[in-house]
Amino acid sequence: MQPFDASSVSRILGVPFSNADFFQTALTHRSYLNEHRGYTLDHNERLEFLGDAVLELVVTEYLYHHFPNPEGELTSWRAALVNGEMLSRVGGDLGIEPFLLMSRGEAKDTGRSRQYLIANAMEAIIGALYLDQGYEAAKNFILRVIVSRLPHVFDQKLYADPKSLFQEQAQTRLGITPSYRVLFESGPDHDKQFTAGAYLGEELIAEGMGNSKQEAQRFAAKNALEKKGW
């Protein structure tokens, strides 16, 4: 973690800034404010809320105009482009992680929680760009760094729901329908973390973590597919 450097952040994002405060806010996690009482900017949750809406609109608009496929398929493709896993990967590739402003405790956690911070910051950056330069600038950024990954989504079948795949394979191979249980809950209400287990009968096959029970189950199913070699 390093002090906010507007020129460096502008360079890695590939966009100019009119008001750098928007982007500093986008990289500020709630926990940072707890340790820096004199900090004059807000944390990034409101920008994240805005950026999420802009991201979904841009991706939806692109898919609608470029593919004649039915709604169900477009919805799956959109989900593969805007989910936390994809956004975390994009943020990692851009190199935003060193610029995240967070508490010392958060800085020590380099696991799944860090991926969520990066994904949330990416949404907040989109919100910041929308406020700073408008819809077209945000759209061009999203097309360049996120929608450009659509061929990879198709190639790796990232649009396929892991829970559906795991159920299909388990029923075909073993005649068993998987089940899921929440194993742990942690964190404050605004940043809950869930750990879910994917089971075949009473056998725990794999675990997964997420910001919601559904997301944790999805990661558990994905991990179970990998563990089973399916």
Expressed in angstroms, the distance from the first to the final Cα of the chain is 39
What local confidence, expressed as pLDDT, does residue 2 receive?
62
Euclidean distance between CA atoms 92 and 84, whole angstroms: 12
- Within 10 Å of residue 226's Cβ, how many Cβ atoms? 11
Catalytic-role residue among 5, 21, 42, 52: 52
Catalytic-role residue among 5, 45, 61, 123: 123
What local confidence, expressed as pLDDT, does residue 174 receive?
94
Q: What is the DSSP letter of 193?
A: E
Between 3.40.50.1390, 3.30.110.70, 3.30.160.20, 3.90.76.10, what CATH number should domain 162-228 receive?
A: 3.30.160.20
Domain limits, CATH 1.10.1520.10, in the chain: 6-155
Does residue 66 sit in helix, strand or coil?
helix
Q: Which residues of the chain have pLDDT under 70?
A: 1-2
- Fold assignment, 6-155: Ribonuclease iii, N-terminal Endonuclease Domain; Chain A (1.10.1520)
Catalytic annotation present for 202: no
What local confidence, expressed as pLDDT, does residue 187 receive?
80
Q: What is the DSSP letter of 187?
A: S
Catalytic annotation present for 52: yes
